């Protein structure tokens, strides 16, 4: 059994050169990034009782799963964290390595999935952001991710709810009408309801600490936290 969906990997490998183009095929992810970074940083600082500083994550070991070109790995590194970024796409990892080197950032990138990562380390924080809707087997993926997390560590999972509204917004709207994403980026059948994701997590010693919706404001082109989880949502889980 494995978590890698080869079709999904091929799809993202074809557009790997676009990762760092803010107006390219990952434009929506660039818009989404500031709220993701703030959410992760604020929650880590709060849960680990970290004092305010320029590099608040300096003693935190983070594993960024499905890191793509490094859009989250890099800001986590800049905030002081020790970061390992993994992705099943070799092309994504090549892009991530090149960009980090160019920016003199020390990030350990590897072509791997949670079940193939060769490490004895356990991490303080695991990021599974916008990845679970692209894996082959979500139960197996969460199980293997959980095994890499320390007791009392945090896992963040951001994904899309399986609702008619998410189909209308994330596929019809974002892919076909607004052209924010290449057509075929998402498969609605692979979207996951929060209660299902929470159940899978609980079976793997991950308890829900927080559930938030994320909403896009078309008027000012920004994302904000919301009580509405019907399209995009993020959960914070504690390893017990």
**186-240 pLDDT, tens digit each:** 999 999 999 999 999 999 999 999 999 999 887 888 899 999 999 999 999 999 9
Q: Is 96 a member of any domain?
A: yes
- Per-residue model confidence as pLDDT tens digits over 96-140: 999 999 999 999 999 999 999 999 999 999 999 999 999 999 999
CATH code assigned at 207: 3.40.50.150
Q: Is 51 a member of any domain?
A: yes
213 membership: H or E segment, kind and range: strand 206-217
| Contact predicate 67/126, CB 8 Å | no
Q: Is 185 a member of any domain?
A: no
Q: What is the pLDDT of residue 155?
A: 99
Q: Is 179 a member of any domain?
A: no
Structural domain range at position 147: 6-160+190-239
Q: Is 1 a member of any domain?
A: no
DSSP category for residue 51: P
Mean pLDDT score of the chain: 96
Distance of CA 41 to the CA centre of its chain: 14
Domain count, the chain: 1
DSSP category for residue 158: E
Task: Count other Cβ atoms within 10 Å, centred on residue 10.
Answer: 11
Q: Is 170 a member of any domain?
A: no
Q: What is the pLDDT of residue 177?
A: 85
- Per-residue model confidence as pLDDT tens digits over 53-94: 999 999 999 999 999 999 999 999 999 999 999 999 999 999
**What is the C-alpha to C-alpha distance for residues 110 and 88, in angstroms, rounded to an integer?**
9
Q: Is 174 a member of any domain?
A: no
Distance of CA 11 to the CA centre of its chain: 17
Q: Is 143 a member of any domain?
A: yes
For the whole model, what pTM was predicted?
0.95
Give the largest Cα separation in the chain, rounded.
Answer: 47
């Amino acid at each position: 059994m494995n978590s890698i969906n080869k079709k999904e990997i091929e799809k993202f490998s074809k557009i790997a050169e676009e990762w760092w183009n803010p107006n390219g095929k990952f434009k929506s992810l660039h818009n989404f990034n500031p709220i993701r970074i703030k959410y992760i940083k604020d929650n880590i600082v709060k849960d680990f009782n970290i004092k305010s500083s320029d590099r608040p994550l300096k003693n935190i070991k983070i594993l960024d799963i499905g890191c793509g070109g490094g859009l989250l790995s890099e800001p986590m590194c800049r905030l002081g964290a020790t970061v390992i970024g993994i992705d099943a796409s070799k092309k994504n990892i090549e892009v991530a390595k090149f960009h980090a080197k160019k920016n003199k950032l020390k990030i350990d990138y590897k072509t791997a999935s949670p079940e193939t990562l060769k490490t004895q380390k356990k991490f303080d924080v695991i990021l599974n952001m916008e990845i679970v809707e692209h894996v082959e087997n979500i139960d197996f993926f969460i199980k293997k991710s959980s095994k890499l997390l320390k007791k009392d560590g945090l896992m963040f999972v951001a994904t899309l709810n399986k609702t008619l509204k998410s189909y209308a917004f994330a596929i019809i709207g974002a892919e076909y009408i607004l052209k924010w994403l290449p057509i075929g980026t998402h498969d609605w059948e692979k979207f996951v309801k929060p209660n299902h994701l929470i159940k899978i997590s609980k079976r793997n010693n991950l308890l829900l600490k927080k559930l938030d919706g994320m909403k896009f404001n078309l008027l000012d082109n920004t994302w904000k936290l919301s009580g509405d989880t019907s399209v995009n949502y993020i959960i914070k889980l504690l390893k017990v």
